[in-house]
Structure formats: structure tokens, C-alpha cells
Chain A
Amino acid sequence: AQSVTQPDIHITVSEGASLELRCNYSYGATPYLFWYVQSPGQGLQLLLKYFSGDTLVQGIKGFEAEFKRSQSSFNLRKPSVHWSDAAEYFCAVGVGSARQLTFGSGTQLTVLP
């Protein structure tokens, strides 16, 4: 069965610093990959997606992610973090006939002023 691992439960960065959130997946074929962001008490907002093609994908709010097949990874990056980026971030894999999403357990991002 497919699985998604987000090794970092909580990350703290200073405003203006760079950010990388890690995501590893386990799946037999090339998966469809997603990053979502969730603010407290809110639903999930899609940041970016990878289906095929260029392994570096750009998303909203200045985020990007790189698909590395050899490492089964899809890490999220941002060159300069803003205080408004504080939230929980979820990596997800799209698999199955229902095209359901399997999510990681999330990484909580704290941004220091």
C-alpha cells in the first residue's frame, strides 16, 4: 500500500529565511504528488502538484517543489519565508481507481519575527 512520510513534525524558521519541508513516498509507480497548506481550523489549500514532465514545479505563494524519483521524494521549498506562511503543510499522493489522496502526517511551520 502507498504511504507518505513527512519526517519533520515541527519546523521553526525566522522570517526571511529559506525553507525546505521534506516528503517521502512509497508507491510502486510514479505517483501524482501534491502539497497542501492548512491554517488553524481551516480546510486545505492546494499549493502545487506534480503529474509528469518537469520535475521542478512552481506553485502559489512563491512555493516550489522538486520530484526526485531516485529518492522517492517531493520536497517543498521557499527561498524567503513570510510570517503569513505559518501553518501546517501536508504532502499527499494520489493513487487508486478513485484517485483518492493519501496524506502524510503533516509538518507544522512556525515563523519567528
Chain B
Amino acid sequence: DAKTTQPTSMDCAEGRAANLPCNHSTISGNEYVYWYRQIHSQGPQYIIHGLKNNETNEMASLIITEDRKSSTLILPHATLRDTAVYYCIVLQYGNKLVFGAGTILRVKS
């Protein structure tokens, strides 16, 4: 599975959009981009995933560049409860999830 690069940490003001970038320049055509988050000491939580097209669900939007070498997770209106570690993971269908260091997102009032 392709490796990903994420910023170590980011801050976001409450109520504003949080845009979390992820670089996956070695992604192959059959690999998906997944996003998970982990709120302090809780089990990781699935957020969203995509292959080529942009995706949106009730939690977030995922924007994947046309060349698929990078993506952005967007939390449209961040709240204090969105403070967590966010993981961008690239993997083939059915493979195990391998978590990197992720991005620590701090939402501030």
C-alpha cells in the first residue's frame, strides 16, 4: 500500500472549515484513500473514503486531485469535539489498515 504524508498538527477556529491535507504521490490505480480519526484514547472512527471522485457524507468531504497524488479532508464547520488525530490511509480493497502518525487537529474556541 502506498505511503502517505500528513502535517504533524493543525489548528482550526471553531465554526470554521478544517482542511486537512494528505500527500500520497505513489498511489496506484486500485488503491483507495481512507480517512479515520481518533479522539483521545477512543477507538478510531471511520470518516470517509474515495477512489477517484470527490465524496461527501454527513461528517466530511473528501477532495481527491485529478492525478490522485493528494487529497484533502474537509470538516465544514469544525467544533471542539472534532479535536482528534486524523489519519489518511491508502490501501487496496481488503487490505489491513496501517496507521501512520496522522495530523493532530486542535479546534479552538
Partners in one complex: no
- Give B contacts to A, CB under 8 Å: none
